[in-house]
Amino acid sequence: MLELDGLSKKFKQFYAVKSLNMFVERGEIIGLLGPNGAGKSTAISMISSLAEPTAGDVRYNNKSILKKPGEFRKIVGMVPQEIALYTDLTAEENLQFFGRMYRLKGSILKKRIQEILDLVGLADRKKDVVQTFSGGMKRRLNIGVALLHDPELLIMDEPTVGIDPQSRNYILETVKRLNKERAMTVIYTSHYMEEVEFLCDRIYIMDQGNLIASGTNEEIKRILSSEKTISIKSDQLNEQFIAMLQEHPLVNRVMSTDKEITLMVAKEVSMFGDLTKLAETAGIELTSVHNKTPTLEDVFLHLTGRALRD
Amino acid sequence: MIGQIIKKQALVLIRNPVQLLLLVGLPIILILILGVALSSFMNGESPTIQVKLGIVEQEQEDAQLERFSEDKKGELPPAVLNQLDDILPIQRLKEDVFGSDEAAKYITLEEISPLDKEKVLDDNTYTALIEVPDNFTYEILEYSLLGEENQPSLQLFTNTEHQLGVSIVDGILKQFQEQLTLQTFLQEEAINPENLEENLQNVTADVLTLDQQVPISSKDYYTVGMAVMNVLFIASAIGSIAFLEKNIFVFDRIILANVSRWVYFVGILLSGMLFAFLHLVIIFGFSWIVFGVTWPNLLGFTFVTTAYAVAVGGIAVLLTALSYRLHSEVITNFFSNILVSLMALLGGSFFPLGDSSAFIATLGNLTPNGAGMSAYITLLRGNELSDVTDHVAFLLLFGFVSIVIAAWSFPKRGAAL
């Protein structure tokens, strides 16, 4: 359905996206995962025909969309990362305006607006101006606008940033439903690996403009087949303990937060004895040590040495 | 589609009370403040400036006239000598100039005896004292009718503490002097002294034409001044809304809906024009109801308002295009925070700056608000539409050039480019 061939975007000497190759089959949910600044939004802008690539091509049904994007735009719905709505207008007025932009009118537009309001759960708030909405409601309406013309392909750029878990779940479930019930193809960008793991059939992982891994969830996790992840928790974690772990010859990578340290070690290595001794030396008491099932976060750490949310 | 864009712009503006207050409320408040505060400077009907003026004649004019008639019997035809009573300069200065209804509203002329001259000069209540020297009328008649080289002059003593009054008296005297010189010129050109009276009447008639213009009150002036200035903020308001649309990716959404960028462009342009037109109609309508500012020529008013609305629409779309091109609102902010004030100053919105120099007047008329202001003031004075065609043509040309530059610089794809 959609194919990206060596897509690059260069700003002066800096590559925001470098030689991105990707394909999307009809009915798939594709995840584009990466930390902030990875180049996901720039890639999305080029895929949606809003930005012109410095090099490469985007093909829809084997036809380049770069010169004549008109036909492609008819089947694309775009959910930008920003709340692209008029906050001084009501939910209904926003849908009316964008519906008219999509050349919907009369009873068809009216019916479509009602369907969208029901879908995003805002039917009872349709007469309220958007600035009175919560962050989650704004995000849902933001998605609703992109669905007005019933697109085949929905491109969502970090659609759950800054909202409460309830609204987040609502959005994720809605995306799943659209994909299942209407066979809608979805390109979903996020830096939340659990969202991508939950939603996506295939995943592309980007970092600093480069594609660093791609495949299904399981295929990507297999990258970690030679390693395992150990999670250490303590209320007293200190610099000395972290430094000792980093210097330990059997530890491949260390990632720490206030109360948790994640280690990556070779699969056959047993670290429990060493960890206890190191904790004693550093004068801390460990509350838990356990082997973790690898996540996409671990894959990203393995590939880049950094956490997704760094 | 364009209608939807205009409707949406209108809703966004209307739902923003602060912006609405600034766009409509502010000019009305400014008209009230400036119109009342500065009415004494501009309102001819109720002047507060009072000029007390003295005139000292060192020799009575009748005696000089009698002597002149006797001395020049052989040199001038009897018909001219018989009409000299009608053109006595000091009598005309006292009765026709300072004694006119218009001047009498703010100038009180007192005839002072030569003996009291020093006393008046010491009296601070007098704004100025005109001294007519010995033989002044005799020499003026010689200069005017017989081409004598020496033109006598009046002496003006002024009170430096009454600068405004002094400048009024000085201006009137200079005008009077010019009229006397003009009479001489006509006399020389006409050659036949019999035509002198007819020529003098023509001069008087010319002056009357100027006086027939409807005077402009301070409220008239500031209604126009504030309206033409504040309507420029419509352009920056629309530019700001458009830039926000770019920033929050609404513009991208519109482009992705396969709406031509030119539809959006025309939507912005027409919004600017329509809102500017409505803004002007609201401000002038309010001034008509509250201040009684009426337009003698409604067709001319509509014509100028339309042309000015085109210019404002051009600015709106130019600001939009430049901010899209530069990915920054700095140009719109610069326009609304600095350029509007500067243009308003040059265009004469705060006071008639152009009166101080022809260069500044020309410069002012090269701003859209200045051209609009000149056109409106000309119409308010009772002139015809044909008298403002230059300004209207300039406004239309300004709008056209702005639109062309905006179209050239408008981004080709989405804002994310």
Question: Is residue B417 included in any domain, yes or no?
Answer: no
Judge: A102–B257 Cβ closer than 8 Å, yes or no. yes
What's the confidence (pLDDT) of residue A223?
75
Higher-confidence residue: B37 or A8?
A8
CB B146 within 8 A of CB B72: yes
CATH topology of domain A225-304: Alpha-Beta Plaits (3.30.70)
Q: Where are the alpha helices (DSSP H) in chain A?
A: 40-47, 70-74, 91-101, 106-119, 135-147, 165-182, 193-199, 217-221, 239-247, 272-282, 296-304
Residue to mutate among B258, B260, B324, with most A CBs inside 10 A, is: B258
Instruction: For CATH 3.40.50.300, list the domain ranges present in chain A.
Output: 2-220
Strand partners, A58: A4
Contact yes or no for B250 and A86 at CB 8 A: yes
pLDDT at position B93: 86
Does A147 reach chain B within 8 Å, measured CB to CB?
no
Same-domain check for residues B106 and B8: no
Q: Are residues B32 and B63 in the same domain?
A: no
Residues of each domain in chain A carrying CATH 3.30.70.100: 225-304
CA distance A89 to chain B (A): 7
Shortest CB distance from A48 goes to which of B4, B250, B256?
B256
Considering only CA atoms, give the Rg of chain A: 23
Single-letter amino acid code for the residue at B160: T
Angle between helix axes B232-247 and B340-347 (nearest 10 degrees) is: 170
Q: Is residue B345 part of a domain?
A: yes
Q: Quick check: helix, strand or coil at residue B404?
A: helix
| Rounded-to-integer distance, Cα B46 and Cα A201, Å | 84
A14 and B CB contact within 8 Å:
no
Please provide the average confidence, as pLDDT, over all residues in chain B. Answer: 82
With contact defined as beta carbons under 8 Å apart, do A188 and A43 qualify? no
CB spacing of B256 vs A80 below 8 angstroms: no
Percent of chain A with pLDDT over 70: 97
Question: Which residues have a Cβ under 8 Å from the Cβ of B110 and sit 6 or more positions away?
Answer: B52, B53, B54, B55
B178 and B144 share one domain: yes
Q: pLDDT of A223-244, one tens digit each? A: 766 778 888 988 888 888 989 9
For A246-304, write each residue's pLDDT tens digit: 899 888 888 888 788 888 888 788 888 888 888 889 888 888 888 877 777 777 777 77
Contact A88/B250, CB-based, under 8 Å?
no
Among B49-58, B200-209, B214-223, the range of highest mean pLDDT? B49-58
- Same domain membership, residue B403 and residue B306: yes
Q: Which residues of B touch A73 (CB under 8 A)?
A: 256-258
Nearest Cβ partner for B11 among A50, A73, A88: A88
Is residue B398 in a domain? yes
Please identify, among B182, B211, B240, the residue that sits at the C-terminal boundary of a domain.
B211
Residues 6 or more apart whose CB falls under 8 angstroms from that of B152 comprise B133, B135, B136, B139, B140, B143
Is it the case that residue B195 has pLDDT exceeding 70?
no
Phi, psi of B59 (to 5 degrees): -145, 135
For A155-187, give the secondary structure using H, E and C.
Answer: EEECCCCCCCHHHHHHHHHHHHHHHHHHCCEEE
Q: Is B404 among the domain residues?
A: yes
The enclosing domain of B78 has a CATH number of: 3.40.1710
Q: How many residues does chain B have?
A: 417
To probe the interface with B, which of A42, A50, A54 has the most B CB atoms within 10 Å? A50
Residue A92 pLDDT class (50, 70, 90 cuts): very high
The answer to whether the CB atoms of B4 and A100 lie below 8 A apart is yes
CATH superfamily entry for domain A2-220: P-loop containing nucleotide triphosphate hydrolases (3.40.50.300)
Size of interface A-B (CB pairs under 8 A): 80
What are the tens digits of pLDDT across the range A160-209? Answer: 888 888 888 999 999 999 999 989 999 999 888 888 888 998 999 888 88
User: pLDDT, tens digit, for every residue of B49-59?
Assistant: 678 899 999 88
ipTM of the complex: 0.80
Query: What is the rounded CA–CA span in Å between residue A106 and residue A103?
Result: 10
- Does B351 map to a domain? yes
The domain of B198 spans 46-211
Question: What percentage of chain A has pLDDT greater than the value 90?
Answer: 40
Q: Which pLDDT value is given to residue B209?
A: 29
**Residue A252's CB: how many other CB atoms inside 10 A?**
15
Residues B253 and B393 in one domain: yes
Strands A202-207 and A210-216, bridge-based pairing: antiparallel
Pair (B311, B326) in one structural domain: yes
Domain count, chain B: 2
Residue B290 amino acid letter:
V
Does residue B416 sit within a domain? Answer: no
Amino acid symbol at A112:
R
Considering the domain architecture, whether residues B265 and B191 belong to the same structural domain is answered as no
State residue B184's pLDDT score.
60
> Does the pLDDT value for residue B207 go beyond 80?
no
How far is Cα of residue B37 from the mean position of the Cα atoms in its chain?
18
Boundary-marking domain end, from B157, B182, B211: B211
Buried b (16+ CB within 10 A) or exposed e, B12-48: bbebeeebeeebeeebbebbbebbeebbeebbeeeee
Is B244 inside any structural domain?
yes
- Round to whole Å and give the CA distance between B150 and B141: 11
> Cα–Cα distance between B371 and B310 in angstroms, integer?
13
A130 in reach of chain B (CB within 8 A)? no
Q: In Å, how far from its chain's centre is CA B156? A: 29
Chain A residue with the nearest C-alpha to that of B256? A73
Max mean pLDDT among A145-159, B24-38, B177-191 falls in A145-159
Q: Are residues B106 and B135 in the same domain?
A: yes
Residue B347 domain-assigned (yes or no): yes
| Residues B11 and B146 placed together within one structural domain of the fold | no
For residues B185 and B251, membership in a common domain is answered with no
Confidence grade of residue B416 (pLDDT, cut at 50, 70, 90): very low
Residue A89 with chain B: CB contacts under 8 Å: 8, 11-12, 15
> Which of B211, B237, B262 marks a domain boundary?
B211
Same domain, B165 and B220: no
Q: Rounded mean pLDDT of B97-114?
A: 85
